[in-house]
Amino acid sequence: MRSPEKTHLYSVLSLTFLIVLFSACSKEEKKDVVAADNTEEMTSYLTSLGFDKQHIVFDKDRVIVELDILMTLPELKQRVAVWKKDNSGVPQTEQRRNTYIVSNTYNTNIKLYIDAAVPSNWRTAIQGAVNNWNAVNGTRLGMSIVTSQSDSHCRVFMGNETANWIARAYLPASNGRPGVSVEINAYYNSLAANQKLFAITHELGHTIGFHHTNQTSGTYIPGTPQTDANSVMNSFVLPWNGFTAGDVLATQILYPQ
């Protein structure tokens, strides 16, 4: 979820990425060359999903795409392995993609644990976001907030970065579990309550498998509107004003009763 102000963060990050990749390529050691090759392969996979190469940032043991969508490197490597197997020897005339959503084992009661450090106004937004998703009719999707971390699927915690992401979240894993965490940027603690609610509802949308409606990554969900400017999965924060018809339909399609 992005703040409304546009900054030059994208270009700064992508430049950093290019410099890192470039310096890795220029090294003589074989190990570095292999690492650069893997990065290239993972980047190819991510661009095949429609993610803009300039908005792919490798960050230690994970990758950040479109500013607020996260994947762990082990998860990404697994996806690449399946993708390579699917593509082997077969010329592609259209894109094929794996789309992981939350399996039936978890999707009727996705349990969120909120870290103690999360301020009360964000807690209110988290509870509101859970209520929002639970109120969508005609789907099996359910969420709850639990008090034991060991009993939870997704942890909500605070980060603090002077950056234009308000919160960010992991996508569901290939094993069918929901995204493992939502990180809230304390830099945006003074955001209006209705924007906090939008932002958390949006991030929970990522943890159950939604990409951004205003960008082209991910697989289009047939039957949903081609444009949906007020969708909760728009990457820019809006004041919460309810789900759009498209949001509801997309949820009903991904998680039918």
Positions that interact with Zn ion (CB under 5 A): 68
Q: Which is nearer to Zn ion, 70 or 110 (CB)?
A: 70
CB of 173 vs Zn ion, minimal distance in Å: 17
CB of 38 vs Zn ion, minimal distance in Å: 26
Q: Which is nearer to Zn ion, 68 or 228 (CB)?
A: 68
For 52-176, list the strands marked E by DSSP. 56-59, 62-65, 69-72, 110-114, 143-146, 154-159, 167-170
C-alpha span between 71 and 49 (Å, rounded): 13
User: According to the 3-state scheme, what is the secondary structure of 115-137?
Assistant: CCCCCHHHHHHHHHHHHHHHCCC
Q: Is 160:187 a contact under the CB 8 Å cutoff?
A: yes
Q: Tokens standing for 254? A: 């991904």
Q: Which is nearer to Zn ion, 75 or 203 (CB)?
A: 203
CB of 235 vs Zn ion, minimal distance in Å: 5
CB of 19 vs Zn ion, minimal distance in Å: 26
Q: Which is nearer to Zn ion, 36 or 51 (CB)?
A: 51
